[in-house]
Amino acid sequence: MLAQVVLFDGFDPLDVIGPYETLTAAGVRAELVTAEGPREVPAGMNLLSLKATALLDPDADIIVVPGAAALQEDETIALLSKATATLAPALTHKNTIATVCGGSLVLAMAGLIKGRNATTNHLGLHALESMGVNAIRARIVDDGNLVTAAGVSSGIDLGLYLVEREIGPQRALEVEQLFAHERRGTAWRTA
């Protein structure tokens, strides 16, 4: 199984590291990638940079899209808009796409999740709705091949949920215990 965590200029580091480390700890082959290929990618607010080691592969089993980190709302929207333009062509496949925080806004801005169920940071729920997404106020929303997580602190919970869903509850529990982390909230699922 291959999981790719997408980096773009201005990404939020916690949105990336939580699911990346959780999936890796479960034995999933995980990579940091960009739509342009290997490069050093600066996080938002000049927090740090991470090195993408591969090109985004639309055939990866799981693609995780983070949100952006910015101090001002208009700056966040600009970062997400730019990410949307570079990522949208690669995110049209039928494998599992997962998002953390504003990552669901990236997909919504690209028109990829119109009519779908998703969540984001509580501050962005109205924006999701305005783009035709059924915004659910839950920590994790599972809508088939789209799994979204709410705020920045939900990245580890997203990773654990994906491990449970794709590998099994035993492995998810092992990683949860390794991290000394207890998942919060109930995952909302489509019927």
185 vs 172: which has the higher pLDDT: 172
The whole-number pLDDT of residue 71 equals: 60
Question: What is the rounded average pLDDT of the residues 62-72?
Answer: 85
Q: Give the Cβ contact number of residue 174 at 10 Å.
A: 16
Percentage of residues in the chain having pLDDT higher than 70: 97
101 part of the active site: yes
pTM: 0.93
For residues 79 and 73, give the distance between their C-alpha atoms in angstroms, rounded to a whole number: 10
Residue among 80, 101, 135, 158 flagged as catalytic: 101
Give the burial class of 68: count Cβ atoms within 10 A of its Cβ; 0-12 exposed, 13-18 middle, 19 or more buried: buried
Q: Cα–Cα distance between 58 and 61 in angstroms, integer?
A: 9
CA distance 176 to 154: 13
| pLDDT greater than 90 at residue 81 | no
CA distance 110 to 115: 13
- For every residue of 123-163, DSSP letters joined together read GGHHHHHHTT-EE--SSEEEETTEEEE-SGGGHHHHHHHHH
Helix 13-25 with 169-179: angle, nearest 10 deg: 120
Q: Please say if the pLDDT value at position 39 is more than 90.
A: yes
Residue 73, pLDDT score? 67
Q: Strands, DSSP E only, in the chain? A: 2-6, 29-34, 39-42, 49-52, 54-55, 62-65, 96-100, 117-118, 134-135, 140-143, 146-149, 188-189
Q: Residue 173: beta bridge partners? A: none
pLDDT tens digits for range 173-184:
999 999 999 999
Domains and CATH numbers, the chain: 2-189 (3.40.50.880)
